[in-house]
Amino acid sequence: MVTIREEKLVDFAAREAVLDEAYGAVRFEKASERLREGRVPAAGLSLVAVDRGQLVGTVQLWQVTAGPGRPALLLGPLAVHPKHRNRGIGSALMRRAIARAHLAGHNAILLVGDAAYYSRFGFSAATTGALWMPGPCQRDRLLALELRPEALAGARGMIGATGRLAPKPDLNLLIAANGGTQRANARKLVRHAA
């Protein structure tokens, strides 16, 4: 049975593996990534799908502004492991993410993706004609869903990142950890040689 739940710290590697499988390295070049890099996702809006202990799907939402002074969310990436597609997992992730965003009081969700897929959840390009991504993006792939009536009425301008900045790793801790690894490797070599 597939369970949808909030992502935990331990899910990081499995989530990245699903994203690598779905999108490859090109995902880091997308305009959406400019709105995600160095930020943490919106609270409670990193979800994973788990099937018999295995992470098989992921979706995350990020805080942005849809033009000046208009808070919204950016959805993505959404991905389901190729072996688990067409089982309704992508839809379950989308529906849960939308419901949670609504419940948390967010106004609207933006994303860059195929209208042929996302229209079933209510997304369209009807309100995004005067919005711009911070990088190349096909206009008909910039989609939105209003969670409150008229939330994006008259929205215009650049979409900007507003999410909380991700904490920077502590340099001293990194050096200590690296030193620890080197000492552990040296101990292994000595044991092997003895």
**What does the CA dihedral 28, 32, 38, 40 come to, rounded to 10 degrees?**
-120
Q: Which residues contact 125 (CB under 8 A, 6 or more apart)?
A: 115, 139, 140, 141, 142, 143, 144
Is there a contact between 32 and 74 (Cβ–Cβ < 8 Å)?
yes
Q: Which of 80, 109 has the CB closer to ligand COA?
A: 80
Site track for ligand COA across 16-45, x = CB under 6 A: ------x-----------------------
With CB under 6 A as the contact rule, the residue among 73, 79, 108, 155 that binds ligand COA is 79
Check binding of 95 to ligand COA (CB under 6 A): no
Check binding of 114 to ligand COA (CB under 6 A): yes
Stretch that binds ligand COA, among 28-36, 87-95, 99-107, 170-178 (CB under 6 A): 87-95
Check binding of 90 to ligand COA (CB under 6 A): yes
Residue 85 Cα distances to 34, 90, 170, angstroms: 28, 8, 39
Which among 103, 35, 117, 15 is positioned nearest to 75, based on CA atoms?
Answer: 35
Q: Which residues bind ligand COA (CB under 6 A)?
A: 22, 78-80, 85-91, 113-114, 116-117
